[in-house]
Amino acid sequence: MTATPARAAALRVLRGVRRGGLADRALGQAMASLEPRDRAWLQELVYGTLRLRGRLDHILAEHVRRPLEDLEPDVLDILRLGAYQLLEMGSVPPYAAVSQSVELAKEVGRGPARLVNAVLMGLSRRREPVAYPPLETDPAGHLAAWGSHPRWLVERWIERFGVEATRSLLEWNNDRPEIFLRLVGWDAADAVAALASADVEATPGPADTVRLGAGSDVAGALAVVPAVVQDPGAARVAAFAASVARGFVVDLCAAPGGKALALAQAPAVRYLLAADRSERRLRRAWDNAERISRQLGRPLSLGLAVADVRDATVADVDLALLDVPCTGTGTFRRHPDARWRVGPEDLAALVALQRDMLDAAAEVVRPGGVLVYATCSLEPEENDEQVDAFLARNPAFEPAPGCVDGDGMNETDRLVVLPQRDATDGAFAACMRRVH
């Protein structure tokens, strides 16, 4: 007896994530070797295990006699995969979850296989409820364990949002994400009708998006309508920038190109340059632009360049969009591995990088032009505090209120999208005008 290909692939994906890889990329590679019927099951197992890793570890710790961090990494991941099947995948018989996990562990050794068998058998027989830290006396401990997030982030969010809003945020992050298409040059009603004629279920979403039905063929949907895969949170940032886009526009961190393609459609934009350090990811923008040009029957006024914003050679642009690298704390629902990868030291390093990128981006904007700064983070150091510090050290720029009307604008006319409030990925954007 051996482990099924899907379970073996799941362990390889978690191993790759543990070594610094991105879950979506590792999952895509693993799916290529599987039968189509196994791919959705693998995705559920991997993403579910990553989302609930903290909760699973809390439960497993009650059944393992030594600290989990003392286990071999592969053994711990096998236990997590087995526990997720037992606790969250009702279609998997308990005997299969246990025996298949043991088969995976045999590749590590006989001792680990016996440990995995004992722990998962004990878990399968468990009947009493899980004992989490008391919410009343240790809200951060309770929410970190039950809500499956690093405690340092939970503590930050409780301080800023309060206990109940933080609980709502964690619940949102632990749910399965929906797939949205951000339309380019089409309205939602026409897109929904076209998709329906191709047997793709879709409904109108916010911010020029359509929501695909569960299990929809995304590639097939993109072949029908001119669009890119983009959450409404990111689409609202694109709309925020597009409301003031005119003349010569540059998207300085453009890959994979969704916001650039939206900006290229703004009526007053003459030409848009999409730049990014990653040639591989920028090729996705090129592929999308070519497809959408064919679908619209006209070329897009869009150019691409492999470049680092800190070495930017463009100048005198009318609008620069700087969607910076960030902790991504607003997108943990879509990228569950990211919550376990980012730490306080990463936040500090990213804030320093964002500062350098902002100062470089300011140099390419002409007097009278606009700089739009954006993140997919919820952290104030990356958002309001970063913008306030930039304005304080750059007297040539001032806030440009009224970039776009609508919900989500805070008291300083900056766009703030919160998952627990707006039911989309989190996002932030600020608009600043160069006055001299």
Would you call 376 a catalytic residue per the annotation?
yes
> 236 and 415 in contact (C-beta within 8 Å)?
yes
SS3 256: coil
d(CA 169, CA 171) in angstroms, rounded, equals 5
Choose among 102, 94, 96, 100: nearest CA to 118: 102
108 is written with which tokens?
A: 């590590």
Q: Which among 326, 376, 403, 431 is annotated as catalytic?
A: 376
Which two three-digit tokens encode residue 265? 């459609």
Measured in whole angstroms, the distance separating CA 346 from the mean position of its chain's CA atoms is 16
SS3 237: helix
Label residues 131-160 b or e (16+ Cβ within 10 Å = b): ebbeeeeebbbbbbbbbbbbeebbbbbbee
Distances, alpha carbon 232 to alpha carbons 175, 177, 402, 405, 417, in Å:
16, 12, 20, 16, 10
Sign of CA dihedral 284, 290, 293, 297: negative
The residues, ordered by sequence, that sit 6+ positions from 175 with a Cβ below 8 Å of its Cβ are 333
CA 203 centroid distance within chain: 22
- Residues acting as catalytic residues: 376
